[in-house]
């Protein structure tokens, strides 16, 4: 078969499609042949064969393994390979994973890593011992391959027993390789990287084996600590040769491993923090000059990784250093050492040196400056912090903010001291821009926190800002732009101190936005009004509002020849500026000379498909209509001609590209409307909305159209009922046609996501008129629930019944109980879907209605509800094997089965306090109680926040709770639930006491808080 396969591999490279496809089909047909994987492996092992043939064999074998090796794999198709052949192939693959040819070794290691996830330890118990044998006794190539496989095994997760039985041997073997200076830097670095995976595994197992893990981790860290410190202390004199690059790679892996130890075992790290912080800080201070020479003065290529792939470029090492230093600053030992050394200026203290190093590393990299000059979008993405490109400049900004958080006065004084020295000397403009960039970061943070700086420093700093603004050469464009930016930030932070200069600063920004030769300066000057509009009193801003809008028009006129696709970030910032400037005086939307509405739509015309840009345009109209209710009718009169023009089709029946945006803005305007709506608005809107909802299948367009119609019903159902289309059909009749279309099973759930809300609104507001067709409408909604899968869509449908239950619960239950949907009862269909999705409901009003409706249903004590069995609590797996993502996919969640009334009580308890928040808070607090005294006693910044300036631990927990924390803030819902539980408990409604006894302890505890 080997010769046959070699021929087929050659044919798969044929440039002619027919023989190539025939060869691929023949290879496919061999998957069922048990000799196929053996032959592939034999070819891969044949070192006398050309490398491409061996690679082809391994690549094909990799696909075969994914499809046929184990039925646990996501891509498994079968047939399942028999155990004897597996046993034959494993040792051969292990040899291939240590082959001298890197390309062979890499593919074989990947195959083995995958096999290990299914076979170890049950079918391949000797794997780890085999790997350690290769790591200990092999050459660098063999060790490299074995380390890759070991890394895969550790990352995928081992059973706790298997890991414990080998952990000591693994750690010692890795240490031996890492410290062996006869080994290549590549292998030593990979060994450290694998030790980092061991630390992660230990951290995951810590909760169930606290004492044993702590003891072992202590031994392991004691073994590695001096080596890791020595690597951090190693002097990096250049990065030009391979050895220097290898040392950088090793340093990066060491520092990343230390960060993992700090994360999982802070107490252990604390024992060595002084030496490791000192070594890292000293090396950062030394390497900053290398970094500046290579990446600032020159334009060295950064973010480089080798074939393993491990990073080796200096910029990535500097990035790790900055992050490590920042992470250690909050520790008591480090902070006390800094304070003990003092804060002498001019580089005479470690603190002053650290601030200067931060300034040096914050300079614009040469590669970045070139890119920013070419592409304004890239510049803006960095300035607005939306870029995923985390660089030393970004990290330096984070570090200065951390210093400002811990040493607020001293940081300002030291940064100002260096500012004076830099501006007084012949330093290049890069350092001047850099120090102002850090002021930008620090002042913005201080402004958000309400923390002022000394008036004298603020006044003097303004002088340096004015000097930066006054720079005039092309090479100084970044310094000039930074000057305008910091001027606005200083105004935000210290308006009272510099208020007599602010109007002049704003006027300079307007002049620069149209007169400066650099577009970087122009756009920066315009963006300053995003801060000025929020910081300066309205009376000083009002005269400048028309000038800013005019400047934006001028800027856009100068960019007319640019491709809109290449200007999306620019357009976004312009709209953001318009949004801020309109808050000065919302009535400006009515000014015919400013034509703000037309301006926003013209920008939107160039941003079709840019969700972020269009969302800001929507927010701008939202702000106007919400912020100025007294001019709501004139605003409608002003905007409706523009909006309807965008919603119309042309003579050829082609949609306007802005139809979607116009419909969304119309929905936004109506959401802020009052009842009744302006006369004639419904007659103007409805023909266009009906055309969308009766003909379109575009998800977002239909959603918005449905939202418009829902708002019309909510605010002015009378106008809708009185309106008729060109054929004489009533508004109600057309509404029912629309609902019927959107409820059809073939219609997209995403598009019809608002149909339930529309139906519920019509039932609520037009109940008398809809009476005869209400049963048909409810039957259609219930039928759609049979196949609905998208939680927001299900919520929309359920709320139709929820709102009816609030008025006539018994009638709704009777109706559903008498309804058959195929072979299933309507009550069972609706209640099963309702209770399975309640936890995903969103929106204060929707959640309130849902909670009250469920309480009403429970109070019916209808025996038919108790006969319906639904999923209850998640059954937690008892396996001791670490649960990885891939393993979780192979093990579907299992639930207990409980009656509907019990499920309702469980859900209402969850809503009462949010059991998800209770559990996560309980877990967090227990973690803090368990570990803070022991592990984090020296971390002063861990007590109230998680190293994210301006965000408390509670806020972060709220972010992690998928938005459900907001339910705790709804007092009305909480009070309703509290009253419900007190009543059902005191009166034992629905045999509540028996249900209570089946609840989990945390659920019982939540109810006990009501007593």
Q: What is the DSSP string of 886-922?
A: HHHHHS--EEEEEEHHHHHHHHHHHHHH-HHHHHHHH
Q: How many Å apart are CA 189 and CA 181, to the nearest integer?
A: 11
> Predicted confidence band at 883 (pLDDT cuts at 50, 70, 90)?
low
pLDDT value at 941 more than 70: no
Q: Is 369 exposed, middle or buried (0-12, 13-18, 19+ CB in 10 A)?
A: buried
**Cβ contacts of residue 721 below 8 Å, gap of 6+?**
730, 731, 732, 766, 769
Residue 678: DSSP 8-state = P
Distances (CA, A) of 348 to 189, 414, 417, 431: 36, 11, 12, 19
Q: For the chain, what percent of residues have pLDDT higher than 70?
A: 92
Once rounded to an integer, what is the mean pLDDT over residues 961-989? 75
Once rounded to an integer, what is the mean pLDDT over residues 557-564? 84
pLDDT value at 186 more than 60: yes
Query: Bridge partners of 380?
Result: none
Once rounded to an integer, what is the mean pLDDT over residues 866-884? 77
**Cβ contacts of residue 680 below 8 Å, gap of 6+?**
none
Do the Cβ atoms of 253 and 324 come closer than 8 Å? Answer: no
Q: Which two tokens stand for residue 395?
A: 């990290």
| pLDDT at residue 154, as a whole number | 86
> Predicted confidence band at 881 (pLDDT cuts at 50, 70, 90)?
low
b/e burial code for range 327-349 (CB count within 10 A of at least 16 → b)? bbbbbeebbeebeeeebebebeb
| pLDDT at residue 1010, as a whole number | 84
* Position with higher pLDDT, 513 vs 961: 513
Quick one: which H or E segment has residue 199?
helix 185-205
| pLDDT at residue 713, as a whole number | 97
Q: Which two tokens stand for residue 323?
A: 């992050």
Lowest mean pLDDT among 123-127, 222-226, 524-528: 123-127
Residue 648: DSSP 8-state = S
| pLDDT at residue 969, as a whole number | 43
Quick one: which H or E segment has residue 871?
strand 869-875
Q: Which tens digits make up the pLDDT trace of 569-591?
A: 999 999 999 999 999 999 999 99
Do the Cβ atoms of 268 and 274 come closer than 8 Å? Answer: no
The rounded Cα 898 to chain-centroid distance in angstroms is 36
| pLDDT at residue 824, as a whole number | 95
The rounded Cα 24 to chain-centroid distance in angstroms is 40
pLDDT value at 943 more than 50: no
| pLDDT at residue 458, as a whole number | 98
Q: Which tens digits make up the pLDDT trace of 22-69?
A: 999 999 999 999 999 999 999 999 999 999 999 999 999 999 999 999
**Cβ contacts of residue 543 below 8 Å, gap of 6+?**
none
Distances (CA, A) of 628 to 619, 625, 672: 14, 6, 10
Q: How many Å apart are CA 316 and CA 310, to the nearest integer?
A: 11
| pLDDT at residue 914, as a whole number | 55
Q: Is 950 exposed, middle or buried (0-12, 13-18, 19+ CB in 10 A)?
A: exposed
Q: How many Å apart are CA 289 and CA 406, to the nearest integer?
A: 26
Once rounded to an integer, what is the mean pLDDT over residues 727-743? 96
Q: How many Å apart are CA 7 and CA 3, to the nearest integer?
A: 6
pLDDT value at 885 more than 80: no
* Position with higher pLDDT, 1011 vs 563: 563
Q: How many Å apart are CA 486 and CA 509, to the nearest integer?
A: 12
Task: Map tokens 């198709």 to a residue.
Answer: 77
Q: How crowded is residue 764: how many other Cβ atoms within 10 Å of its Cβ?
A: 17
Once rounded to an integer, what is the mean pLDDT over residues 852-871? 97
| pLDDT at residue 161, as a whole number | 74
Q: Which two tokens stand for residue 583?
A: 């808050």
pLDDT value at 10 more than 50: yes
> Predicted confidence band at 874 (pLDDT cuts at 50, 70, 90)?
confident
Q: How many Å apart are CA 530 and CA 541, to the nearest integer?
A: 12
pLDDT value at 945 more than 70: no
Q: What is the mean pLDDT of the chain?
A: 91
Q: Which tens digits make up the pLDDT trace of 129-145?
A: 999 999 998 899 999 99
> Predicted confidence band at 954 (pLDDT cuts at 50, 70, 90)?
very low
pLDDT value at 964 more than 60: no
pLDDT value at 6 more than 80: yes
Q: How many Å apart are CA 266 and CA 934, to the nearest integer?
A: 9
Do the Cβ atoms of 851 and 803 come closer than 8 Å? Answer: no
Do the Cβ atoms of 62 and 69 come closer than 8 Å? Answer: no
> If we measure between CA atoms, which residue out of 53, 47, 81 comes closest to residue 66?
81
Alpha-carbon Rg of the chain, whole angstroms? 34
> Predicted confidence band at 389 (pLDDT cuts at 50, 70, 90)?
confident
Q: Is 737 exposed, middle or buried (0-12, 13-18, 19+ CB in 10 A)?
A: middle
Q: How many Å apart are CA 483 and CA 520, to the nearest integer?
A: 12
Q: How many Å apart are CA 577 and CA 63, to the nearest integer?
A: 52
Query: How long a stretch of residues is the chain?
Result: 1011
pLDDT value at 956 more than 90: no
Q: How many Å apart are CA 111 and CA 661, to the nearest integer?
A: 49
**Cβ contacts of residue 151 below 8 Å, gap of 6+?**
113, 190, 193, 194, 197
Q: How many Å apart are CA 319 and CA 772, to the nearest integer?
A: 69
> If we measure between CA atoms, which residue out of 794, 991, 802 comes closest to residue 901?
991
| pLDDT at residue 178, as a whole number | 98
| pLDDT at residue 916, as a whole number | 36
Residue 870: DSSP 8-state = E
Q: Which two tokens stand for residue 777?
A: 């409408």
Residue by residue, DSSP assigns 128-163 as: HHHHHHHHHHS-HHHHHHHHHHHHHHHHH--BHHHH
Highest mean pLDDT among 149-163, 445-459, 548-562: 445-459
Q: For the chain, what percent of residues have pLDDT higher than 90?
A: 82
| pLDDT at residue 157, as a whole number | 60
Q: How many Å apart are CA 712 and CA 762, to the nearest integer?
A: 10
**Cβ contacts of residue 275 below 8 Å, gap of 6+?**
229
Q: How many Å apart are CA 301 and CA 226, to the nearest integer?
A: 33
| pLDDT at residue 939, as a whole number | 61
| pLDDT at residue 768, as a whole number | 86
Q: How do 869-875 and 824-825 pair as beta strands?
A: unpaired
Do the Cβ atoms of 977 and 855 come closer than 8 Å? Answer: yes
pLDDT value at 888 more than 80: no
Lowest mean pLDDT among 258-267, 274-283, 343-352, 768-777: 768-777
Q: Which tens digits make up the pLDDT trace of 644-682?
A: 999 999 888 899 999 999 999 999 999 999 999 999 999
Which H, E and C letters describe 15-26, residue by residue?
Answer: CCHHHHHHHHHH
| pLDDT at residue 564, as a whole number | 84
């Amino acid at each position: 078969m080997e010769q046959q396969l070699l021929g087929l591999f050659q044919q798969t490279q044929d440039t002619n499609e027919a023989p190539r496809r025939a060869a691929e089909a023949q290879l496919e047909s061999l998957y069922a042949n048990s000799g196929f994987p053996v032959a592939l492996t034999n070819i891969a092992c044949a070192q006398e064969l050309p490398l491409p043939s061996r690679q082809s064999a391994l690549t094909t074998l990799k696909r075969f393994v994914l499809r046929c090796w184990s039925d646990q794999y996501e891509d498994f198709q079968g047939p399942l390979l028999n155990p004897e052949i597996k046993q034959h192939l494993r040792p051969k693959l292990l040899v291939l994973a240590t082959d001298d040819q890197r390309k062979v070794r890499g593919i074989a290691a990947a195959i083995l890593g995958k096999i290990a996830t299914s076979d170890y330890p049950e079918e391949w118990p000797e794997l780890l011992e085999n790997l350690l044998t290769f790591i200990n006794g092999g050459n660098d190539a063999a060790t490299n391959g074995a380390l890759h496989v070991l890394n895969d095994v550790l990352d995928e997760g081992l059973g706790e027993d298997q890991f414990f039985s080998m952990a000591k041997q693994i750690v010692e073997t890795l240490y031996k390789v890492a410290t062996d200076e006869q080994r290549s830097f590549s292998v030593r670095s990979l060994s450290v990287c694998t030790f980092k995976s061991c630390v992660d595994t230990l951290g995951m197992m810590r909760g169930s084996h606290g004492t044993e893990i702590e003891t072992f981790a202590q031994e392991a860290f004691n073994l590695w600590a001096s080596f890791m410190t020595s690597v951090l202390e190693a002097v990096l004199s250049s990065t030009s040769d391979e050895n220097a690059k290898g040392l950088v790679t090793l340093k990066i892996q060491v520092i990343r491993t230390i960060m993992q130890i700090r994360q999982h075992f802070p107490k252990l790290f604390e024992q060595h923090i002084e030496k490791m912080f000192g070594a890292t800080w000293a090396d950062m201070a030394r390497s900053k000059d290398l970094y500046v020479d290579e990446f600032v003065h020159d334009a060295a290529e950064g973010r480089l990784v080798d074939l393993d792939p491990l990073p080796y470029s200096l910029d990535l090492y500097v990035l790790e250093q900055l992050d490590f230093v920042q992470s250690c600053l909050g520790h008591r030992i480090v902070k006390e050492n800094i304070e003990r050394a003092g804060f002498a200026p001019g580089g005479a203290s470690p603190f002053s040196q650290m601030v200067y190093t931060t300034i040096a590393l914050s300079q614009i990299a040469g590669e970045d400056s070139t890119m920013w000059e070419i592409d304004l979008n890239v510049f803006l993405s960095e300035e607005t912090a939306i870029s995923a490109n985390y660089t030393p400049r970004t990290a330096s900004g984070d570090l200065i903010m951390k210093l400002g958080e811990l040493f607020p006065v001293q940081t300002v004084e030291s940064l100002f001291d260096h500012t004076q020295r830099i501006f007084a000397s012949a330093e290049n403009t890069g350092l001047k821009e850099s120090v102002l960039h850090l002021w930008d970061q620090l002042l913005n943070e201080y402004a958000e926190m309400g923390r002022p700086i000394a008036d004298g420093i603020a006044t003097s700093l303004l002088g340096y800002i004015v000097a930066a603004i006054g720079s005039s050469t092309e090479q100084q464009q970044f310094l000039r732009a930074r000057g305008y930016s910091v001027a606005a930030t200083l105004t935000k932070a210290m308006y009272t101190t510099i208020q007599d200069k602010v109007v002049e600063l704003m006027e300079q920004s307007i002049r620069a936005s149209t007169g400066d030769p650099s577009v970087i300066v122009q756009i920066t000057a315009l963006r300053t009004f995003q801060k000025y509009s929020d910081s300066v009193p309205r009376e000083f801003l009002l005269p400048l509002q028309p000038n800013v809008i005019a400047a934006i028009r001028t800027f856009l006129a100068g960019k007319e020849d640019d491709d809109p696709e290449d200007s999306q970030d620019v357009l976004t910032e312009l709209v953001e500026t318009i949004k801020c400037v309109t808050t000065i005086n919302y009535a400006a939307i009515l000014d015919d000379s400013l034509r703000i509405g037309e301006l926003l739509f013209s920008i939107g015309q160039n941003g079709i498909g840019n969700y972020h840009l269009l969302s800001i345009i929507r927010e701008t109209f939202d702000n106007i209509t919400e912020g100025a209710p007294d001019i709501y009718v004139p605003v409608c009169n002003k905007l409706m001609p523009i909006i309807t023009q965008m919603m119309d089709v042309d003579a050829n029946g082609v949609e306007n590209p802005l139809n979607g945006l116009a419909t969304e803005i119309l929905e936004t305007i109506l959401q802020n409307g009052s009842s009744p709506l302006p006369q004639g608005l419904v007659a103007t809107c409805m023909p266009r909305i009906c055309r969308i909802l009766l003909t379109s299948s575009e998800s977002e367009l239909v959603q918005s159209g449905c939202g418009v119609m829902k708002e019309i019903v909510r605010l002015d159902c009378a106008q809708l009922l009185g309106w008729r289309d060109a054929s004489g059909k009533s508004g109600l009749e057309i509404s029912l046609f629309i609902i019927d279309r959107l409820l059809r099973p073939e219609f997209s759930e995403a598009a019809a996501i608002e149909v339930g809300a529309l139906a519920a609104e019509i039932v609520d507001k037009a109940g008398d008129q809809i009476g005869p067709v209400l049963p048909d409408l409810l039957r259609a909604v219930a039928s759609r629930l049979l196949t609905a899968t998208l939680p927001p869509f299900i919520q929309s449908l359920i709320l139709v019944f929820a709102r009816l239950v609030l008025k006539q619960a018994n009638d709704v239950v009777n109706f559903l109980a008498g309804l058959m949907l195929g072979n299933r009862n309507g009550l069972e269909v609706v209640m099963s879907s309702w209770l399975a999705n309640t936890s995903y409901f969103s929106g204060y009003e929707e959640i309130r209605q849902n909670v009250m409706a469920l309480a009403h249903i429970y109070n019916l004590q209808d025996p038919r509800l108790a006969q319906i069995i639904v999923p209850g609590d998640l059954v937690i797996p008892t396996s001791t094997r670490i649960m990885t993502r891939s393993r979780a996919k192979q093990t579907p969640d299992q639930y207990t089965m409980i009656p509907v009334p019990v499920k309702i009580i469980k859900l209402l308890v969850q809503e009462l306090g949010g059991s998800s928040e209770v559990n996560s808070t309980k877990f967090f607090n227990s973690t803090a109680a368990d570990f803070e005294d022991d592990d984090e006693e020296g971390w002063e910044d861990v007590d109230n926040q998680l190293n994210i300036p301006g965000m408390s631990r509670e806020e972060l927990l709220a972010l992690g709770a998928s938005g459900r924390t907001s339910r705790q803030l709804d007092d009305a819902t909480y009070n309703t639930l509290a009253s419900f539980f007190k009543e059902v408990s005191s009166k034992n409604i629905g045999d509540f006491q028996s249900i209570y006894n089946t609840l989990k302890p945390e659920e019982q505890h939540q109810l006990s808080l009501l007593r």
